[in-house]
Amino acid sequence: MKKWLSLLFVVASMLFLSAGIVNAAKSEAMIPKLILDGKALQPKVPPIVMDKSVMIPVRIATESLGYKVDYDNNKKQVTVSNSKKKLVMTLDKPTAYLDSMPQQMVLPPTLKSNNILIPLRFLGDSLGVQVFWDNQSKSAFLFSSDDNEDGNNDGSDTTPPDGGLIGIVDPEEGEGNGDGSEVPPVTPNPPVDVTGTLYEVRYETDSVVLKYDGLIAPSHFKLDNPQRIVIDIPNTKYADTFLPLVDFTTMKEGSLLVTEHEALKSVRYSMFGDAVKSPRFVLDLNQAWDYEVLNDPTIGELRFILKKPLPDKSLFTVVLDAGHGGSDPGAISISKKAEKTFNLSVILKVQAILAIDERLKLVLTRSGDSFPSLSDRYNLANSIQADLFVSVHANSFTSSTNGTETYYTRADSKAFADLMHSLLVQATGLKDNGVRQRSFAVTRETKMPAVLIEAGYLSSKIDEPQMWTDDFQNRVAQAIATGIMQQLKLT
């Protein structure tokens, strides 16, 4: 009996250890790999998968991309910046700020072994990094925007043989097809049967046409720097009589020169891949164009129709400026509240009202308690060629002074100021102090119609108590939103 018990104990122990080894192996297999421009990164703390999202160490990813990373231990705040962008994130808080604009993260920054991890998806969206997830090899491929997309600077395109651009995909959202990166997957695809044959590529008016026979399943995507459209056709071969003729045993690629199109310069075609090679076509462009794909298997024709992008003037850009902020509180009210708080509250309410209109792009000079300089404010508006600029303030003088005022500087802003003031006076219900011309920096140096609003006086016993109520601020915000819509003729 003792022998049987001993044997049973040994078997149970072996099963327990085996289960532990299997579970450990599964856990280890799920540790994502991190590859930047074709080079594997080796962070001290590896990426992890949390709630179906890949979390990567912010320092190794961003510093490898040329960003500076600073951490404020008191604020639990990490700042990623370069000469063009500034991203501020706070530990365990889902709201980040990109160039002072609030951004929502799928998961908040997480601390692990003294390293801060952030969602891979958020990194790509915020810093303009191309990020692709290969579910087969559990690898995250990152491509910096200012380098060649393949990381080898030889001008070649290096997407896996059946690679279609899948964007940023979290590991549990679907198996995918193990592609989408510009670096061959760690586990190459096995050989596959050829189901289609290509006979010709030609250019017609605004179209690139491929003639084929059999069954094909093309994938296609756009790439920048330089602009081009890439088409991969797996499980397919070139016919011996393919036109234009090219001998791939002696030449790397063939080329079809295009001279009669505004954007398309040439069509390059080659065999591409690692373990399995497939036809690849690259449409070289001198500017970014859209395209439409038509595949008609009944006549064996795959057509890529090039489409010139529509002018972006159906989308208007409006800069909303909350006066003062940060170390500059502005005027202090009778009840000892700072003007900067009133200004920001109204601006955020305006943003909420207008955000639902897809014809508007809203840019805030500040969305929190920061202090952009006056030059920061008007330079921002000018650099993005905004259509309108609205600055919100609250005034202060003597206890007997009260009312609403609207200011402008340049003559081309007068009509906008008149319109905005007529709506504001009705909304505030305060004394009408009229439209006034003054040389304020934000209304003088901006290049678009610009107004500065003084909603009321924080030094007035009449104005101040009303100005801190939601009802008053909502009415002011609605008046500003209506003025913007009417000025842009969007009502």
Q: Are 274 and 285 in contact (CB under 8 A)?
A: no
Residue 22 within any structural domain of the chain: no
CATH, residue 213: 2.60.40.3500
* 297/222 same-domain check: yes
The winner for highest mean pLDDT among 21-35, 171-185, 310-324 is 310-324
Span 471-482, average pLDDT: 97
Span 297-315, average pLDDT: 84
Question: Closest Cα to residue 160, out of 269, 36, 272?
Answer: 272
Span 369-396, average pLDDT: 95
Residue 160 within any structural domain of the chain: no
* 119/243 same-domain check: no
pLDDT at 119 over 70: yes
pLDDT at 200 over 90: yes
Could you give the number of structural domains in the chain?
3
Residue 168 within any structural domain of the chain: no
Q: Could you say which of 259, 280, 307 is where a domain stops?
A: 307
* 325/287 same-domain check: no
Q: Could you say which of 307, 332, 364 is where a domain stops?
A: 307
pLDDT score of 145: 53
Q: Is 311 helix (H, G, I), strand (E, B) or coil?
A: coil
* 285/390 same-domain check: no
Q: Could you say which of 285, 307, 329 is where a domain stops?
A: 307
Residues 246-267 have pLDDT tens digits of: 888 888 899 999 999 999 999 9
359's CB contacts (< 8 A; 6+ apart) are 314, 315, 316, 490
Supply the range of the domain harboring residue 70: 33-143
Residue 181 within any structural domain of the chain: no
Residue 156 within any structural domain of the chain: no
CATH, residue 327: 3.40.630.40
User: Would you state the structure tokens that stand for residue 164, as one six-digit string?
Assistant: 């279609």
Task: Cite the active site residues.
Answer: 454
* 139/284 same-domain check: no
Residue 238 within any structural domain of the chain: yes
* 269/322 same-domain check: no
How far apart are alpha carbons 199 and 78 in whole angstroms? Answer: 55
CATH, residue 123: 3.30.457.10
Q: Are 394 and 339 in contact (CB under 8 A)?
A: yes
Residue 169 within any structural domain of the chain: no
* 395/476 same-domain check: yes
Q: Global pTM?
A: 0.42
Residue 174 within any structural domain of the chain: no
